[in-house]
Amino acid sequence: MSVRARERIRPASRWATWLRDRDPDLAATRRAGRTALVMPALFALCGEGFHNPTMASYAAFGSFSMLLLVDFAGPVMERLRAQAGLAVAWAALISLGTLVAPTVWLAVVTTLLVAFVILFCGVVSSVLAGSATALLLGFVLPVTAPVPLAQLPDRLAGAGLAAAVALPAVGLLWPRPVADPLSRPAARVCGAAAAHLRTDASGLGGLGPAADPAQRRAAAERTADASTDLRYAFDTTPYRPTGLATSSRALVRLVDELTWLSTILADEPDTAEEPPACDPAARTVRLVSADVLDRTADLLADPGRDVGPLRAAMSELRTAMNGMEQSSTSRLPFGRPVDGSPAATYGFIAALDLSFRAQELGFVVLQIAGNVELAATAWQRPWTDRLLGRDPGALTEPLAAAGERAAAHLGPRSVWLHNSLRGAVGLGIAVLLADLTGVQHSFWVLLGTLSVLRSNALSTGQNALRAVLGTVLGSFVGAGLLHLIGHHGAALWFLLPVAVLVAGIAPAAISFTAGQAAFTVTLVVLFNIDQNPDWHIALLRVQDIALGCAVSIVVALFFWPRGAAAAVHQALAEAYTSSAAYLAGAVDYALGHCTSAPHTGEPERQNREAAASARRLDDAFRTYLAERGAKPVSLADMTTLVTGVAALRLAADAVVSLWRGAGPPSPVAGQTEAHRAILGSATRVTEWYRGLAAGLGRNTPVPDTLRRRPEIAARMVESVRTDLVDGRGRATATAVRIIWTADHVDAARRLQPGLAAAAKESASR
């Protein structure tokens, strides 16, 4: 290849690299490319072929909506079904908008109701959430342009043609990859962790040759690198990097759980020199956990696989963990004296350290596998269940499940409700003002309102300025193009595909301002085709978008102006409070098995409250990630705080799981010193989390982190040795569980430094 040829290739390669850096997986480029091919073709067919301007407009905006504003996930058949559903909804919305448009008050009221229903129903279904803007466009177009009912068939014909072409375009023109963007990095973490577990298990208990130190370090580094890559894929994305479907949301939770798994593996004791004595059952748990992770990775790579092998491996892991709990009793060195020193105390506890770590690993692996099983089952569920947002295995009917999910957000603290009401009121006011002012192309006032209206007044104001700036820039560019073209209007046909392509890519690859500018140029070109080129259309576009921005700012100032960041802090406070209460309830449940007094049942109420608060936090966090503009708190700090809620709940889950099915209580008359020691530790830990919640919710100082207290551990060990024994002075399963419960509480304590640092950083911003 000649030097000149290589020089021609290099700019193209640099351009492709630049685009991929700013548009991961070329998602925006894919949508823009399809729209640039289809939209001008349909506009030309209806305008030049059928000589029907109304049909041409609805075909153009219909294809714009169905190809650029939505990008449904899942297999091709599910995408086609979703596209067909969007087309049916468009037909209904166009009909409704055409009917109510001539009467102003009816148009305003109907806009309020329709906009609220469309926006709020996103909480029920990911399909509806991803289609909200496209659905609103189907109503905004007709409601802002009153016409006789005789033109309704032309409108429906244009939209129908757009839908008919969009269906094959989605499946044939550069179709979206089926895999979720987090699936592959999550699968790599699972695979690396499985290899890490097998390497660490080699040589334990004198079974088989031990891996050399270099192999162990290499396995640990691969796991850490894979976990870092997964976290990077999540943290460096300004918006949530997955869809909102059940399968996608389950995969997002894996980020927390796989991070926890990686932390546990990194915290493993160094056994490179000489593997310590180990219960063979603990080694078995590690190896079976590795098998479960391998099957989990297979399902992450291909969610259409049969989930049977994973379920079988999970069942085998549960059996191995039960066996380890029984055999670990004999590992406690009851015959060895303990002098009360920290070394002797922690040496006694360390006899169960590898078994506890195996139990901790097994539990988190089961949580990960259960999440992936849920994701795969959700991926394979019928499309009707996906549309209604019904979780796999739900006992309620689809409509009942959708109703329950919607009812959960009909409260004053629901971010989703706030945004739905804000958007509905803003659009309703925009319809009224567009009619009163009599602006040309008044539907752009509503689109301007919707495009810049975010979840807080400051963010809305920033977007409004960017929108107006982008519109002004686009207007100058458009006016300049019209001046250069002069009376050669046919050239606009060649500019239209380019303008659509740039308008689709610019918001993702450059900025919101650049997107507004490119969109303005597209409108200038579109509205001047087959007309005498008129640069005044650019000024009208500035007028329309400015009016819409003004509506957005006014509505944002009066409706919950603090936004999603404040809502996330409040949701974090509630989540930590309820999760701490769940951990306290789990410890009470555990200690209730150790006395002859009647013990309480599982803390189901606290679990439900913690789960409900975690779901509200998830919704608030999702809205926070979706907000345009600079984040008041770094994504890494906010993610650390959100992840901490999951880890605290998982620690409580682990305690409950440990004591579930523990059998009859110990015949001890009352609480032992071990009970009081664990209860005191749990109280200190949960009180710290309540202090953290107060700091997040009321911006008070975060409490100092707790230190390990050897004297409490010494009291617990002495009590275990003297009180929790059988009639012949031997260790009991209750003693083992007591020590493991204390370890789980200490695991919650060890989370505190990272959470405190993130909370202090967020408070300083």
134-165 residue pLDDT tens: 898 899 889 988 899 999 999 999 999 999 99
Determine the pLDDT at residue 242: 45
Determine the pLDDT at residue 410: 72
In this prediction, residues 534-544 reach a mean pLDDT of: 60
Query: What is the pLDDT of the chain when averaged over all its residues?
Result: 76
**Whole-angstrom distance, CA of residue 281 vs CA of residue 355:** 8
Determine the pLDDT at residue 165: 94
Q: What pLDDT digit, counting tens, does each position of 9-46 carry?
A: 456 567 777 777 777 677 788 888 999 999 999 999 99
Determine the pLDDT at residue 452: 55
Helix ranges (H only) for 596-661 are 604-626, 635-659
Determine the pLDDT at residue 558: 57
Q: pTM (2 decimals)? A: 0.72
Vertex 418 angle, CA 413 and 423, to 5°: 175
Tell which CATH classification among 1.20.58, 1.10.286, 1.10.530, 1.10.1390 matches the domain 183-399. Answer: 1.20.58
pLDDT above 60 (res 481): yes
pLDDT above 70 (res 709): no
- Residue 243 binned pLDDT confidence (cut-offs 50, 70, 90): very low
**Whole-angstrom distance, CA of residue 249 vs CA of residue 242:** 8
Least confident of 87-91, 92-96, 551-555: 551-555
Packing angle between helix 183-201 and helix 213-235, nearest 10 degrees? 160
Residue 628's SS3 state is coil
Of the CA atoms within 13 Å of residue 44, those in its CB half-sphere come to 12
Determine the pLDDT at residue 141: 86
In this prediction, residues 337-366 reach a mean pLDDT of: 65
pLDDT above 80 (res 262): yes
Determine the pLDDT at residue 246: 57
Determine the pLDDT at residue 80: 82
Tell which CATH classification among 1.20.58, 2.60.40, 1.50.10, 1.10.10 matches the domain 565-763. Answer: 1.20.58
Q: What pLDDT digit, counting tens, does each position of 283-295 carry?
A: 888 899 999 999 9
Determine the pLDDT at residue 377: 82
pLDDT above 70 (res 90): yes
Query: Which has more pLDDT, 213 or 319?
Result: 319
Least confident of 119-128, 193-202, 449-458: 449-458
Q: How many angstroms from the chain centroid is the CA of residue 5? A: 45
What residue ranges of the chain are covered by domains with CATH 1.20.58? 183-399, 565-763
Residue 340's SS3 state is coil
Tokens of 419: 């945004």
Q: Which secondary structure element, helix H or strand E, spans residue 360, and what is its range?
A: helix 353-380
In this prediction, residues 32-61 reach a mean pLDDT of: 92
Q: What is the dihedral of CA 505, 507, 509, 514, to 10 degrees?
A: 100
In this prediction, residues 644-662 reach a mean pLDDT of: 83
pLDDT above 50 (res 500): yes
What are the CA-CA distances from residue 85 to residues 90, 142, 273, 597 (Å)? Answer: 9, 19, 63, 59
In this prediction, residues 308-314 reach a mean pLDDT of: 92
pLDDT above 60 (res 744): yes
- Residue 238 binned pLDDT confidence (cut-offs 50, 70, 90): very low
